[in-house]
Amino acid sequence: MQSDTQGSEPSPSIYITDDVRTYVLQRKRDFRVSTSCSGAILLPTSVKPPKSTDLKIPVGDYTIYVSKYQARYIDSVHKGMIPIFYDDF
């Protein structure tokens, strides 16, 4: 049996764009990048709780957790990951 992470190490550094950084700081809460049917999605941890295997990226006093499954494929967390019903830029 093979590990589900074999051969695909997470990116050592995931960049958080300034607009996402502002989004997190204005909402004063932690977020998680997880998998959805349309790709990576950024949701509050009250909707999608973090897992012990997530990468943790600090943003001020808050944290963006990144699913180990998404971490392999992304190099940045950007505005396009915010669901439209959460988007009030």
pLDDT in tens, 20-75: 999 999 999 999 999 888 889 999 999 999 999 999 999 999 999 999 988 989 99
Say what the pLDDT of residue 12 is: 55
Say what the pLDDT of residue 2 is: 37
Q: How far apart are CA 43 and CA 24, in angstroms?
A: 10
Token duo for residue 27? 């909402």
Band (pLDDT 50/70/90 cuts) for residue 17 is very high
Say what the pLDDT of residue 69 is: 87
Say what the pLDDT of residue 36 is: 87
Say what the pLDDT of residue 24 is: 97
Query: Is residue 16 packed enough to be buried (19+ CB in 10 Å), middle (13-18) or exposed (0-12)?
Result: middle
